[in-house]
Amino acid sequence: MKLRHEFPVIVVVGIPGVGKSTILSIATKKLEEQGFQVLVLNYGDYMFKALNSKGIVKNRDEIRKLDLRTQLEHQSLAAQMLIDDARKSLGAKGILIVDTHAVIRTSTGYWPGLPQHVIEILKPDVIAVIEAPVSDIVARQRRDKTRYRLDLAREDIVREMLEMTRYFAIASATLVGASVVFIMNLEGRAEEAAENLVGVIRSIL
């Protein structure tokens, strides 16, 4: 069994409000300016494609309402679809960045976002955990009116989610021998956080 893909894979995780999307956007632009082909794929989008293809959901919001067993049954399919698309798109200097969550908070407990059957398909070289101060995350969540947040404006839950993300990311990395890095995104310093992510990615090329 091949332990790695022909292109480097970086999985970037972080709880809602850490500024992950902003950092990925800046980091992607920086890498492209340096001559790299960068493909950023959202694992949640592929979960929707996998479930929608079976007629199970009609929109992404319905995914969170599914039971754990139904989600587990489609996670591998989603991961394989993602890797297949990356193979079709990436060239010799290609880099795949997977945007996802290491852990999902639900009414039935914490679910792993990167369980063994998923992480062994993605085969990441690095799992990058984007973090931010609890107060910053809560403030960003309060400003975001576009998404439903289970952890909205609750500092205790945000703090717990940050801890759980670390634990679950490390557990997933252990299964495939990936490294784990923690990148702090302070308010107003997304450029610096993105530069740190670029440095990590450049170090494995």
Closest CA to 162 of 121, 102, 113: 102
Instruction: Tell me the pTM.
Output: 0.94
* Amino acid occupying residue 1: M
Q: In this structure, are residues 115 and 127 in contact, taking their beta carbons and an 8 Å threshold?
A: no
pLDDT value at position 100? 97
Per-residue model confidence (pLDDT) at position 81? 97
Asked if residues 38 and 156 have their Cβ atoms less than 8 Å apart, the reply is: no
Question: What confidence tens digit (pLDDT) does each residue in 15-35 have?
Answer: 999 999 999 999 999 999 999
Contacts of 135 (CB under 8 A, 6+ apart): 155
Which residue, among 173, 142, 154, 196, has the nearest Cα to 31 in the 3D structure? 196
Low-confidence ranges of the chain (pLDDT < 50): none
Residue-level pLDDT at 32: 96
Query: What pLDDT is attached to residue 146?
Result: 63
Q: According to the model, what pLDDT value does residue 88 have?
A: 95
> Strand 179-184 to strand 103-106: parallel, antiparallel, or no bridges (unpaired)?
unpaired
Domain annotation for the chain: domains and CATH numbers: 9-42+92-203 (3.40.50.300)
Q: What local confidence, expressed as pLDDT, does residue 149 receive?
A: 55
